[in-house]
């Protein structure tokens, strides 16, 4: 089920360098699983902007977005009380039904946003998750307190690329053994996702990104070749099982 509706902005505040968190009030009944995204119809822009659901409950949804271009710049200037049209219930999110008791979550940069909702759902299901997140600098860190509160096994790193001896999220993952985790969920830059898939000792899944337009599998502009044939990332993804991804 998908719902295209008007949502009222309850809050829209800066939470990190160029990153804003927008809370929208409205019908959230189409949002099923963490890792799904919504299409935001930014006023004055023809194509919608796909943004992951960072968190949602019965009456509101929360988006964490980085200002990178005109659309997200317009969003960042909107104020509480204004209305945005949003299409919700998009994409195939993270699989919560896998037989895993202690998954590891690996997030890089803005890829940490959908992991927040995932962590909340895993906590509700009494899973013992380990969370590893990495950011370019201290100014880029998002959801530190929230994730730290949810799981004690939480590591966050700053990975300024020019700093010598810096540890990457994949270095932390390499240090874990098979007794530390039995599945992985990852979201972040593609090179990080590929490295995670190469290193991980278990099965898992990754959330991929691509340019999108319709968001519902019709225009085919987000088609990618997988080990299971051509798939659209907006409908069959953005989350794909590790063994499906052709890097």
Ligand X SMILES: Cc1cc2nc3c(=O)[nH]c(=O)nc-3n(C[C@H](O)[C@H](O)[C@H](O)COP(=O)(O)OP(=O)(O)OC[C@H]3O[C@@H](n4cnc5c(N)ncnc54)[C@H](O)[C@@H]3O)c2cc1C
State how far the Cα of 111 lies from the Cα of 143, in Å rounded to an integer.
11
CB of 205 to ligand X, least distance (A): 14
Binding mask 170-209 for ligand FES (x = CB under 6 A): ----------------------------------------
Which of ligand X, ligand FES, none lies near 70, with the C-beta cut-off 5 to 8 A by kind?
ligand X
Asked whether 239 and 232 are in contact (CB, 8 A), the reply is no
Binder of residue 232, out of ligand FES, ligand X, none (CB less than 5 to 8 A by kind): ligand FES
In this structure, are residues 207 and 106 in contact, taking their beta carbons and an 8 Å threshold?
Answer: no
- In the bound state, the residue with its beta carbon closest to ligand FES is 234
72 binds, among ligand X, ligand FES, none (CB under 5 to 8 A by kind): ligand X
Q: Shortest distance, CB of residue 65 to ligand FES, whole angstroms?
A: 18
**54 DSSP 8-state letter:** -
Is 87 among the residues that bind ligand FES (CB under 6 A)?
no
187 binds, among ligand X, ligand FES, none (CB under 5 to 8 A by kind): none
Q: Is 157 in the site for ligand FES (CB under 6 A)?
A: no
Distance CA 230, CA 148 (A): 38
Distance between CA 49 and CA 29 in Å, rounded? 20
- The residues in 215-234 that bind ligand FES, with binding defined as CB under 6 A, are 215, 217-222, 232, 234
**With CB under 6 A, what is the number of residues at the site for ligand FES?**
12
CA atoms of 174 and 28, how far apart (whole Å): 38
Residue 209 as a binder of ligand X (CB under 6 A): the answer is yes
Q: How many CB atoms within 10 Å of residue 119? A: 27
Site for ligand X contains 50 (CB under 6 A): yes
DSSP 168-226: PHHHHHHH--TTT-SEEEEES-HHHHHHHHHH-SS-EEEE-----SSSSSSS-TTEEEE
Work out how close the CB of 136 gets to ligand X at its nearest, in angstroms, rounded to a whole number: 14
| Residue 41: strand pairing partners | 85
d(CA 83, CA 61): 14
Using CA of residue 224, residue 218, residue 52, residue 50, what is the dihedral sign?
A: positive
Please say which residue, 43 or 69, places its beta carbon nearer to ligand X. 69
Residues 111-130 vs ligand X: string with x where CB under 6 A? --x-----------------
Residues forming contacts to ligand FES in the complex (CB under 6 A) are: 212-215, 217-222, 232, 234
- Residues binding ligand X (CB under 6 A): 37, 47, 49-52, 64-66, 68-72, 110, 113, 209-212, 238
């Amino acid at each position: 089920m998908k719902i295209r509706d008007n949502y009222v902005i309850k809050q829209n505040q800066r939470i990190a360098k160029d990153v804003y968190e927008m809370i929208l009030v409205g019908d959230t009944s189409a949002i099923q699983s963490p890792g799904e995204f919504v299409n935001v119809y930014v006023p004055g822009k023809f194509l919608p902007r796909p943004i992951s659901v960072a968190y949602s409950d019965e009456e509101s949804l929360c988006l964490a977005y980085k200002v990178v271009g005109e659309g997200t710049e317009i969003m960042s200037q909107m104020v509480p009380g204004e209305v945005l049209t949003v299409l919700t219930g998009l994409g195939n999110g993270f699989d919560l039904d896998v037989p895993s008791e202690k998954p590891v979550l690996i997030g890089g940069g803005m890829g940490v946003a959908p992991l927040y909702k995932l962590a909340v759902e895993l906590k509700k299901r009494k899973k013992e998750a380990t969370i590893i997140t990495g950011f370019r600098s201290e100014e880029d860190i998002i959801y530190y307190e929230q994730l730290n509160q949810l799981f004690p096994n939480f590591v966050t790193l700053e990975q300024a690329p020019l700093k010598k001896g810096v540890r990457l999220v994949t270095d932390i993952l390499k240090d874990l053994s098979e007794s530390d985790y039995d599945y992985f969920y990852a979201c972040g830059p593609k090179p990080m996702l590929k490295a995670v898939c190469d290193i991980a000792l278990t099965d898992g899944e990754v959330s991929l990104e691509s340019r999108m337009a319709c968001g519902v599998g019709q225009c085919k502009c987000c088609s990618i070749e997988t080990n299971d044939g051509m798939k659209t990332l907006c409908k069959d993804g953005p989350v794909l099982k590790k063994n499906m991804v052709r890097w």
